[in-house]
Amino acid sequence: MSRIAFTNARIVCPANGIRHGTLLIEGETIAAGEDVPADATVIDCAGKTLAPGIVDLGAFAVDKAACRDGGVVRVALMPDQSPVLDDPGIVRRAATMGKPELWVHPLGAATRGLAGTDLAEMAINASAGARAVATGRRWIADSGLMRKVLAYARDCGLAVVSHAEDTGLTGEAVATDGLTATLLGLPSAPAIAEALAIARDLMLAEETGARIHFRQVTTAAGFDLVRAAKRRGVAVTCGITPAHLLLSDIAVSDFRTYAHLSPPLRSEADRRACLAALRDGTIDVLASGDDPRGPEEKRLPFADSAPGAAGTRTLLALALGLARDAEMPPDRLFALLAANPARVLGLETGTLEPGRPADLILFDPDTPWQIDAEALGNTPFDGLPVQGRVLRMFKGGKEILG
């Protein structure tokens, strides 16, 4: 059995806090103790940070090189693929596409073709490797069908990952109602479309006893509903991307299609509510929302462009900046990036506890660099100076080289 001892490391674990010292891995798992065996390969970390590899919950694409650069060891892939992940053969193929460097955990479609009309085969998709059920980029408007989705997922032991925007209000909107949308003449929808969708889905989840995860909550009203549901004991979790924590709808003022996202960027008041929810623990998951689009989809008038942005390579650096601004300890940050998404997916990873898979990253939180859309693809953070670079990454005890 191979052994690796990481010495002189700042070790960050969502379960056991922060310490300085040695972490030992044996084979594919993390070992107990700090004594370095004579046959171990020693890696002197020079005081840099050792943390669990990131579990990215809800990406729309898989890019191994981007994941290596961004410290992502596992990707929960949204079902909005071509073809849609609604068939066991397609799910099984998606589950094997990244190995051994990267593990892809498909999210099975909640409905056939994500059309929102007929239930997909959750049980056999789960046996093929689906780790949760998702509504994709869409909200399921039919309340009766959504209730069946939640009940069936509960019986299969799966969480439902929901997109929260009431389509009866959003229609063809590409922006949030407000001064920016008015000045630019963009089709817009009220932010309450999110809270309406969350309210209904929470009521159905509470009534069925299902687990529900809102992939992105971005409004004050939405967070209020999630907080209240958590107090009642509803099995609800929610996530967000750095974009909605750092940018408001002002970012689209010059018709920047790189800032065309779904859900759309919100008002400054809602952005501040997102930061408050991050601080008070309402937000459970911080994810990339990686949804890269090519020039043919972005170099269009704003209303005609596709929503989405690349996010995998920038997730760690932006998250470290958010943690610094919010005075959030690193172990809490890695709960958001690794332990909590793993828990939603039912994966025994995301911490550095003994016996867990040796999925980890070594990074320098202080290395400065500048986000470059030319190199990284469409991103609303083009030109932003950030700090934090992944130095080395290990998946199941084996180093993943760049």
In sequence order, which residues have a C-beta less than 8 Å from that of residue 253 and are 6 or more positions away?
Answer: 180, 183, 184
Is residue 386 over pLDDT 90? yes
- When pLDDT is averaged across residues 183-206 and rounded to a whole number, the result is 98
- When pLDDT is averaged across residues 291-320 and rounded to a whole number, the result is 96
- When pLDDT is averaged across residues 57-66 and rounded to a whole number, the result is 96
pLDDT tens digit sequence for 118-173 = 999 999 999 999 999 999 999 999 999 999 999 999 999 999 999 999 999 999 99
pLDDT value of position 377: 87
pLDDT tens digit sequence for 5-59 = 999 999 999 999 999 999 999 999 999 988 999 999 999 999 999 999 999 999 9
- When pLDDT is averaged across residues 351-372 and rounded to a whole number, the result is 97
- When pLDDT is averaged across residues 264-282 and rounded to a whole number, the result is 97
Give the model's confidence band at 178: pLDDT under 50 very low, under 70 low, under 90 confident, else very high. very high
From the list 355, 362, 352, the residue with the least C-alpha distance to 331 is 352
Q: What does the mean pLDDT of the chain come to?
A: 96
pLDDT value of position 34: 86
Chain centroid to CA 302: 25
- Residue type at 144 in one-letter notation: G
> 346-376: string of b/e by CB count within 10 Å (b at 16+)?
ebebbbbbeebbbbbbbbbbeeeeebeeeeb
pLDDT value of position 322: 97
Distance CA(58)–CA(149), nearest Å, equals 18
Is residue 104 over pLDDT 90? yes
Is residue 274 over pLDDT 90? yes
- When pLDDT is averaged across residues 361-365 and rounded to a whole number, the result is 98
Tally DSSP H helices, then E strands, for the chain: 15, 18
pLDDT value of position 375: 87
Is residue 1 over pLDDT 90? no
Structure pTM? 0.96
pLDDT value of position 189: 97
- When pLDDT is averaged across residues 279-300 and rounded to a whole number, the result is 95
Whole-number percent of the chain with pLDDT over 70:
100
pLDDT value of position 402: 72
Distance CA(290)–CA(59), nearest Å, equals 5
- Number of alpha carbons in the 13 Å side-chain half-sphere of residue 325: 15
Give the model's confidence band at 98: pLDDT under 50 very low, under 70 low, under 90 confident, else very high. confident
- When pLDDT is averaged across residues 100-116 and rounded to a whole number, the result is 96
- Lowest average pLDDT, out of 26-35, 102-111, 265-274, 337-346, goes to 26-35
More confident residue, 198 or 254: 198
From the list 197, 286, 210, 196, the residue with the least C-alpha distance to 241 is 286
